[in-house]
Amino acid sequence: MEHFLALDIGGTKFGGGVVSEKGDVISYVAGPTPKPSTAAELWELARRLLHQAVDESGVHSIAAVGIGSGGPMDLEKGLVSPLNIPGWRDFPLRSSIEEEFNAEVYLDNDGKALTLGEGLFGRAKGTQNFVAMVVSTGIGGGIVLDGRLLNGRLGNAGHIGHVNVEEKGNLCGCGAIGCLEAQASGTAITKYFGMDPRQATEAVKVRCGEYVGRGVASVASLLDLDLFVVGGSVALGFGKVFFDAAQRELSARARLSFSSEAKIVPVGLGEHGPIIGAASVALSRRRGLF
Ligand SMILES: [Zn+2]
């Protein structure tokens, strides 16, 4: 049985864990993303969590390290510049972990990582065409088409958070107006609705669901997809109200014969999705899956 060391880099927290090749989480530790923070402070947190995860797992041999990080990034060079973590710009995360752990390290965007986890172990297991998404501090995702995870020119395919959903919408962290992430992410809810997402009203939950459904509808028709699995603290925390609103909007706006049956459902791996996803980056690359 192989075990993978996994690192999940998010705008709110970093997570480290050891995950088995069957998708079982053997150990998991997390710490809040320091803000504001220098590149060195962020690296120290990542390093500490990874060592702690190995120690707590009792596992003696790690097959490889998998990382899911907020984007954008340069996959070829292994550099990360997470939009929600200003302290890291072109930070050499892959080579830093390679040196620290003397292991093979596989890096990908957190949305794509979650997608791999859901495809291998979660709600989309056995499915050849689907999108998985995170609606959390930010909004990201990954696309599996014809059984392959799409990468794009620099590896950034799947940034569904920057699909435009509102003509005169909010200013997004990317500089554009009306991106899905600027309308429905945890950051947007705090900034533009003035409330902690955990205390969101029914109306805000519905509004966010509608925006996500709207963004997804365009993708369903564009790519001939009928399954969208959605995780992240905001979506899962909002629950049924959010998913019902998203489904209503999706069904209303994707009307082609092949997209009108598209479904939007919660992820199968729940809160462990991101860390299993990060491990899945290493597992899938080593075994040539997706
Ligand atoms: Zn944007």
Enumerate the domain spans of the chain. 3-109+272-287, 123-268
Which 3 state secondary structure label does DSSP give 196? Answer: coil
Q: How far, in Å, is the centroid of ligand 1 from the Cα of 80?
A: 17
CA of 173 to the centre of ligand 1 (A): 6
Give the sheet arrangement for strand 13-20, strand by strand: 25-32, 13-20, 3-9, 64-69, 105-109
How far apart, in Å, are the Cα atoms of 44 and each of 47, 58, 99, 214? 5, 22, 14, 39
Q: pLDDT tens-digit profile of 199-219?
A: 999 999 999 999 999 999 999
C-alpha of residue 194 to centroid of ligand 1, in Å:
20
Residue 154 near residue 197, CB atoms below 8 Å: no
Q: Which two tokens stand for residue 192?
A: 């533009």
What's the whole-number mean pLDDT along residues 115-124? 97
Distance, CA 176 to ligand 1 centroid (Å)?
Answer: 5
Q: Look at strands 227-231 and 148-149 and give their pairing.
A: unpaired
What Rg value do the Cα atoms of the chain yield, rounded? Answer: 18
Is a pLDDT exceeding 90 seen at residue 16? yes
pLDDT exceeding 70 applies to what percent of the chain?
Answer: 100
275 C-alpha to center of ligand 1: Å? 25
Average pLDDT over residues 163-174: 95
Same CATH topology for 3-109+272-287 and 123-268? Answer: yes
For residue 262, name the pLDDT band (cuts at 50, 70, 90).
Answer: very high
pLDDT score of 121 more than 90: yes
How far, in Å, from the CA of 167 to the mean position of ligand 1?
Answer: 13
Could you tell me if 18 and 62 are in contact, meaning their C-beta atoms sit under 8 angstroms apart? yes
CA of 162 to the centre of ligand 1 (A): 4
For residues 238 and 200, the answer to whether their CB atoms sit within 8 Å is yes
pLDDT at 237: 96
Rounded to 5°, the CA angle 4-49-25 comes to 40
Q: What's the mean pLDDT in 25-45?
A: 96
Q: Please give the Cα distance from 97 to 43 (Å, whole number).
A: 9
The pLDDT of residue 179: 98
Q: How far is CA 119 from CA 47, 107, 196, 228, in A?
A: 28, 17, 31, 11
Average pLDDT, the chain: 95
CATH tag, 123-268: 3.30.420.40
* Ligand 1 midpoint to CA 191 (Å): 15
**What integer pLDDT is reported at residue 271 of this predicted model?**
84
The domain 3-109+272-287: what is its CATH number? 3.30.420.40
Can you tell me the distance from the alpha carbon of 68 to that of 45, in angstroms, rounded to the nearest whole number? Answer: 15
From CA 4, how far away is CA 2, in angstroms rounded?
Answer: 7
The CA-based dihedral angle spanning residues 61, 45, 82, 86, taken in that order and rounded to the nearest 10 degrees: -160
In the chain, the percentage of residues whose pLDDT exceeds 90 is 92
- Ligand 1 center to residue 158 CA distance, Å? 13
DSSP bridge partners of 64: 4
Cβ neighbours for 213, distance < 8 A, ≥ 6 positions apart: 245, 246, 247, 248, 249, 250, 252, 253, 264
Q: Please give the residue that has the higher pLDDT: either 3 or 155.
A: 3
Beta carbons within 10 angstroms of residue 60's beta carbon: 7
Distance 91 CA to ligand 1 centre (A): 21
The better pLDDT of the pair 101, 84 is held by 101
Specify the pairing of strand 263-266 against strand 227-231.
parallel
176, with CB counted inside 10 A (0-12, 13-18, 19+), is: middle
Please determine, for residue 49, whether its predicted confidence score (pLDDT) is greater than 90. yes
* pLDDT at position 40: 97
What is the average pLDDT across 43-49?
98
